[in-house]
Structure 1
Amino acid sequence: MSWNGPDDAPPSARIAALAPALQPSERRVADAIAADLAGAVERTAQQLADHAGVGRASVVRTARTLGYDGYPQLRVAVARELAFAPPAEASTGDGTAVGALRAAVEEFARGLSRVTSVLTEQQVTAAVAALDEAERVVVVAAGLSMPLGYDAAMRLGAAGRPCEFVPDPLAQQIAARQLTASSVCLVLSGSGSSRPTLAAAADARDAGAQVLAVTSFADAPLVRLADTALVVPPVGGTFRDELLHTSRAALALVVEQLVELVAQRRSGRSARARDAVLRVLGESLGD
């Protein structure tokens, strides 16, 4: 798979989103670039090939897979990303637990700029409209993405957009099979490859429902099943980081704001629902 997302998406976001689709030699080149953007700008194609332990042709092929005409264009794009990137002033930690926590949060914050870099106006608008207009919305999420399902369902409900979420994968699949052409199946999956999640998404599509996916990788099987796919690259930057330090924080941030857009589109309906929510919350709080 070659890059077909926004032309202004930075190289690091493209690498993160396409990581699982890259060939082994391309993955080595991409990981070498992601690990040292400044070094990649200074290296020629041959120097980068030697650094990554691959042939020069693999470097050129990687650049084209990432959506550039060749390696020189990729180098320029990397230089541009560095020029507009916030300064790296995060602490490496002071040996304390709070120091390590602070350093990790600062590192995460530096990667937030690419969370929405792969999204397009058309995709986001289509997703918001689908969630607003559907007669029925079923949320599908499993494994580490399951908390996203709970969160999305509660937020949508509080915004006046009734929806359904049950944690059992079999129950999700049963619900998906009962959807119709006027329904939406909102599928949340970091990897986009979970078998139970894919089964439910496929059943929803076969039932004629719109499948709306939120995932981390552009070439995930889930993307191919979806009518609309919102790709949110992992903040870590590489597929290896995603495997070793799996996080759904970026996906949670996007889902939360997606619900806010739905609430804005529903206007008065959301206001009435949120008023009811606040009344319940007020009655539940003690002194």
Structure 2
Amino acid sequence: MSDSPAARLQVLFEGHRLTPTQRRIAHCMVRRAADAPFLSSVELAELAGVSQPSVTRFAVALGFDGYPALRRHLRDVAPAESSAKALANEYQQAVEAEIENLRHLAGLLADPAPVERAGRLLAASRPLPVLGLRAAASQAYGFSYFAAKVHPDVRLLDEGGTMLADRVDAAVRAGATALLCFALPRHPREVVDTLANARAAGLTVVTVADSAFAPVAAHSDLLLPAAVGTGLAFDTACAPMLLGRVLLEAMCDGLPDAQARLEEFDVRAAERGLFVE
């Protein structure tokens, strides 16, 4: 398991029954893992959009006497940064942070059972709706593009609006049993509402999110976390993209004709001169 700041926070939060407000604070701390040991309770409350007393109650829920005790604990377990990292410019720091996110993902994948279960669920769903709005739209599109080469019916849901619920309902009527969602910050309320409606309609929701404490967690049957980088003006999402490809591999394992479909595509692509070799 990676020893990244985000990984250590995930371990700290595991096993605790947190309220929605406390999950929001936990999610904020995971996103700001490198800064968390140095944030005051007021600063953390402002970042998470909660009250300062909520931060204190959150620390107590984790077993600490108060927030100062939690912050001291985080400082005690934080590794000292190497001089090389301290001298790195902001672009290098962003790359280093993404490398840490990938290491954390590799640690999570040491137990392949959740991804293997997700692959079976996605392979069995006919059709397979894939949801991703705003920042997550490109992740949903990338997954759907490759999934369509091996899955007989993939339906991309990358546009919000009043038609979104209709398209989910249509997928259910057509026989869908599962929905795959990519959920990245900032999390659109529409995604949360859509997942709630999808589960109410009987779909099993598999979600790739930036944190196990993301707002979509409460409406997901199986959540697979992959952290995003927050060091640049806009978040970077190397780990969620890679996790999407891992899910594709797991789904292919659940599709006995996947290899035949790929070979058929290659033959047709060659006949049409589709690619420049």
**Whole-angstrom distance in 2 between the partners of 1:63 and 1:234:** 28
**Whole-angstrom distance in 2 between the partners of 1:112 and 1:259:** 17
1:11 matched to 2:8:
yes
| Deviation readout 1:68-100 (Å, 9 max, x if unpaired) | 99969x959974x849x9x7745724xxxxxx7
**Whole-angstrom distance in 2 between the partners of 1:12 and 1:259:** 28
Given that 1:161 and 1:270 are in contact with CA atoms closer than 8 Å, whether structure 2 keeps it comes out as no
Q: How many equivalent pairs are there?
A: 253
Residue 62 of structure 1 is matched in structure 2 by: 59
Q: TM-score, normalised by structure 2?
A: 0.68
1:224 CA drift (Å):
1.0
What runs of 5+ residues in structure 1 fail to find an aligned partner? 1-8, 41-47, 94-99
Where 1:165 maps in the other structure, the secondary structure is: strand
Letter in 2 for 1:227: D
In the superposition, relative to structure 1, how do residues 137 and 30 fare at CA in structure 2: closer, same or farther (>3 Å)?
closer
Residue 274 of structure 1 is matched in structure 2 by: 262
Residue 111 of structure 1 is matched in structure 2 by: 101
1:191 matched to 2:185:
yes
In the superposition, relative to structure 1, how do residues 61 and 182 fare at CA in structure 2: closer, same or farther (>3 Å)?
closer
1:160 CA drift (Å):
3.4
**Whole-angstrom distance in 2 between the partners of 1:217 and 1:121:** 18
Letter in 2 for 1:135: R
Letter in 2 for 1:176: V
Given that 2:26 and 2:213 are in contact with CA atoms closer than 8 Å, whether structure 1 keeps it comes out as no
In the superposition, relative to structure 1, how do residues 11 and 186 fare at CA in structure 2: closer, same or farther (>3 Å)?
same
**Whole-angstrom distance in 2 between the partners of 1:105 and 1:264:** 32
**Whole-angstrom distance in 1 between the partners of 2:253 and 2:115:** 14
Residue 211 of structure 1 is matched in structure 2 by: 205
**Whole-angstrom distance in 2 between the partners of 1:125 and 1:176:** 24
**Whole-angstrom distance in 2 between the partners of 1:151 and 1:160:** 14
Residue 88 of structure 2 is matched in structure 1 by: 92
Residue 257 of structure 1 is matched in structure 2 by: 246
Given that 1:216 and 1:232 are in contact with CA atoms closer than 8 Å, whether structure 2 keeps it comes out as yes
1:151 CA drift (Å):
0.6
**Whole-angstrom distance in 1 between the partners of 2:131 and 2:112:** 24
CA RMSD across the alignment = 4.6
Residue 151 of structure 1 is matched in structure 2 by: 142
Given that 2:131 and 2:182 are in contact with CA atoms closer than 8 Å, whether structure 1 keeps it comes out as yes
**Whole-angstrom distance in 2 between the partners of 1:166 and 1:32:** 30
Where 1:168 maps in the other structure, the secondary structure is: coil
